[in-house]
């Protein structure tokens, strides 16, 4: 008798490949996972998707590639490692740090187009910081960059506003840019109240809304 044939069969529950398959099935179905495991798996899935979309946008998005080119021409090249996918609270989709980093809030994007608009928005902030030496504690400086970023990034296109519940048939773009700029300036720690945010936006509106650099016109 073949000695191997006399060995007892392997219990499938003790097989490593079976355990891997079982975990994969649990990830897909959610069955058998603890709440912490579900949350961890969800974050991992969001991170992988964010990284994949980021890579695609850095290589193929017209607006992102254009902004990266002009940042490099301005002496501020942006390596992909400076654009980070990370979990955030759901009140924001991205952020810019003056040290030269951008965060993409990996759980906030419904589709790649949303991420594209967010990344372009933050790259406009980075361009302004590089080109114009923005003082982010100065509300007028901050307001100007927010006006430009919201106007030039695609954040205020009609369908995006419709999805937010804002519908206007007259100067919709301007209304969106103004509203979102005021909200962002209001969140500045140096801003005492909404009236100050609105005043800062109004004071720089004409010059900053008309400034489309480095684009020739509103993208």
Active site residues: 122
Angle at 163 between CA 199 and CA 191, to 5 degrees: 20
Cα distances from 67 to residues 102, 126, 213, in angstroms, run 13, 9, 10
Burial 125-155 (b: 16+ CB within 10 A, else e): bbbbbbbeebebeebebbbbbbbbbbbbbbb
- Per the document, the length of the chain is 219
CA 83, CA 59: separation in Å to the nearest integer? 13
Q: Which residues 6+ apart lie within 8 Å of 57 measured at CB? A: 64, 112, 115, 116, 119
**Matching residue, tokens 């490692």:** 81
């Amino acid at each position: 008798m073949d000695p191997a044939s006399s060995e007892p069969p392997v219990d499938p529950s003790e097989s490593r490949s079976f355990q891997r398959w079982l975990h994969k099935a649990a990830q897909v179905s959610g069955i058998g996972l603890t709440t912490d495991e579900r949350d961890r798996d969800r974050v991992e899935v969001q991170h992988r998707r964010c990284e994949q979309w980021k890579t695609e946008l850095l290589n193929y998005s017209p607006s992102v590639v254009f902004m990266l080119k002009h940042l490099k021409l301005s002496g501020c090249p942006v390596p992909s490692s400076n654009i980070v996918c990370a979990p955030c609270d759901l009140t924001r989709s991205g952020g810019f740090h003056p040290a030269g980093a951008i965060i993409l809030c990996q759980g906030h994007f419904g589709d790649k187009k949303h991420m594209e608009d967010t990344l372009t928005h933050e790259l406009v902030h980075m361009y302004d910081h590089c080109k114009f030496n923005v003082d982010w504690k100065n509300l007028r400086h901050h307001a100007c960059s927010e006006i430009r970023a919201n106007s030039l990034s695609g954040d205020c296109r009609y369908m995006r506003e419709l999805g937010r519940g804002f519908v206007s048939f007259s100067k919709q773009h301007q209304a969106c840019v103004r509203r979102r700029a005021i909200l962002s300036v209001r969140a500045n720690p140096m801003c005492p109240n909404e009236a100050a945010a609105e005043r800062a936006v109004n004071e720089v509106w004409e010059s900053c809304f008309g400034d489309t650099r480095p684009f020739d016109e509103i993208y």
